[in-house]
Amino acid sequence: MGRHTRSAATRGRAGALARQKIVVEAARIMAEEGVRDYQSAKRKAAHRLSLPEDKNWPGNAEIEAALKQHLELFQKDWPETLRTLRASAVEAMTLLADFSPKLVGEVLSGAVSRFPEVQLHLAALAPEDVSLFLDSHRIPFDLEDRRLRYNDDRIVPVPVFRFVAGDVPFALYVLSPEAIRELPLSPIDGRPMHRAGQREVELLLASGRA
């Protein structure tokens, strides 16, 4: 093996080690410090480890897997927290049944950050239908816009109703009945987002699986 080959192998091992350090630290930041955005967690991790952001940059899916592992190892109440969140999701889906709710995000995947929220996609002819429904049930909310990305590079602004029920934060993404048939892309891996209807969430809750 020549000198240049050995040097390249050494750099490769060092790069893999740096990448793994960022993965572990980013997962810890999300689990313990409440950072919910994967890119922000990676940047914080790289800064704390004095590593550049433009090299050895892990994918979000790697961080998600490490986050679940961190929760399993270091947060003994994680299974109970996840059960509580999923049970709250089922209650909300029952209440919002007329809007064909689908669970998405961290409560579905199990990779919950320190301050998780239950994210639901709803189908409604107009956002006002959801606001009137929440008002009729005396549920105070905040309204904001979030963007969903789709396969053809479309970025679509979507109204999101946020409220807290008990101690559980909720985010209701309101899509038209036509738009909800199309899956937006996951911010984790860029693939079509996984959604779960109420029955699937109930089965997941009953199984006790993360």
**Final residue in a domain of this structure, among 19, 52, 74:** 74
- Select from 46, 74, 102 the last residue of a domain: 74
Same domain, 161 and 62: no
Q: Is the pTM of this model over 0.85?
A: no
Q: How many CA atoms lie within 13 A of 204 on its CB side?
A: 22
Residues 6+ apart with CB under 8 A from 127: 143, 159, 161, 174
Helix (H) or strand (E) holding 164: strand 155-165
Q: Are residues 187 and 137 in the same domain?
A: yes
Q: What distance in Å separates the CA atoms of residue 34 and residue 31, rounded to the nearest whole number?
A: 6
Tokens of 56: 């050895």
Residues 123 and 186 in one domain: yes
Q: What is the pLDDT of residue 3?
A: 56
Burial of 63 per CB tally in 10 Å (0-12, 13-18, 19+): buried
> Nearest Cα to 201, choosing from 130, 126, 96, 131?
96
Q: pLDDT at position 55, please? A: 65
What is the pLDDT, as a whole number, of residue 11?
A: 63
Q: Which tokens go with 95?
A: 């209440």
Q: Is residue 96 located within the same domain as residue 162?
A: yes
Last residue of a domain, which of 44, 74, 104? 74
Task: Please state at what angle helix 38-48 crosses helix 3-33, rounded to 10 degrees.
Answer: 120
Reading the block at residue 121, the tokens are 């996609």
Asked if 176 and 121 sit in the same domain, the reply is yes
210 vs 204: CA distance, rounded Å: 8
Domain span holding position 125: 78-207
Q: How many domains does the chain have?
A: 2
What pLDDT score does 161 carry? 98
Q: Are residues 68 and 83 in the same domain?
A: no
CATH of residue 142's domain is 3.30.460.10
Q: pLDDT at position 10, please?
A: 62
- Say whether both 32 and 111 belong to one domain: no
67 and 148 both lie in a single domain? no
By C-alpha distance, which of 188, 183, 187 is closest to 150? 183
Residue 73 DSSP code: H
**How much is the pLDDT for 9?**
60
- Provide the pLDDT for residue 18: 87
> CA–CA separation, 18 vs 14, rounded Å?
6
Residue type, 200: E
pLDDT tens string, the chain, 210 residues long: the values are 555 555 656 666 777 888 899 999 998 998 888 788 888 999 999 999 998 876 668 989 899 899 888 888 887 788 899 999 999 999 999 999 999 999 999 999 998 877 889 999 999 999 999 999 999 999 999 999 999 999 888 999 999 999 999 999 999 999 999 999 999 999 888 899 999 999 999 999 988 776
Shared domain for 70 and 84, answered yes or no, is no
Q: Which tens digit of pLDDT belongs to each residue from 96-147?
A: 999 999 999 999 999 887 788 999 999 999 999 999 999 999 999 999 999 9
pLDDT given at position 157: 95
